[in-house]
Structure 1
Amino acid sequence: MALKRTNVYADDSDLALLKEAAARLGVPEAELIREGIHRMALAHRVWDEPFVTDEETFDLGGPVTQEDIRTAVTEAHTARERRNRGDAA
């Protein structure tokens, strides 16, 4: 992937958080910035075709309850925080 240089303006507090995260993870700040740009670009991408047509459905194995969602989000958040701290899974 060819990289292109650009300039951005950021709040001092955001830059401080970025510096802390990069040090904690042992990666360059620029790597985190590139990852953030990539995630935002994908999050706002407009697809030419819908992912699922009106005729398609997904079988999620039954009704999903609020507690199922809460548990899944809590477990994923906990795992992500462990990874960010560098703890073993």
Structure 2
Amino acid sequence: MAWTMRLPEDEESQLDAQAVAEGRSKSEVARDAVREYVQRHRKWSEPLLTDDETVDLGGPITRHEIRKVMDGVAR
């Protein structure tokens, strides 16, 4: 599908510079940026893990608590 993207001059200049630095077209760089944005904001229809595969630590956790849980999993 073809469409037009309008950018402020400074952003277009940055896109031009990035494309040149990577040896790619502006379209390729823009497609990759859109693809990454869509993937980053994707909403999953099902959880990635079941409740049985998770550990409830009852609130915010520290690095120490994460290591403790990971040590238990590794054994």
TM-score, L = length of structure 2: 0.66
Q: 2:41 — aligned with what?
A: 44
Structure number with greater CO (CA < 8 Å, separation at least 6) is 1
Larger Rg: 2
Cα drift, residue 10 of structure 1: 1.5
Cα distance in 2 for partners of 1:50, 1:11 equals 39
Point out where structure 1 has 5 or more consecutive residues left out of the alignment: 64-89
Point out where structure 2 has 5 or more consecutive residues left out of the alignment: 56-65, 68-75
Identity in percent: 25
Tell me if 1:15 matches 2:15: no
Q: 2:32 — aligned with what?
A: 35
RMSD value over aligned CA atoms?
1.7
User: Which runs of structure 2 are paired with 1:1-89 in the superposition (5 Å)?
Assistant: 4-57=1-54, 63=67
Cα drift, residue 36 of structure 1: 0.5
TM-score, L = length of structure 1: 0.56
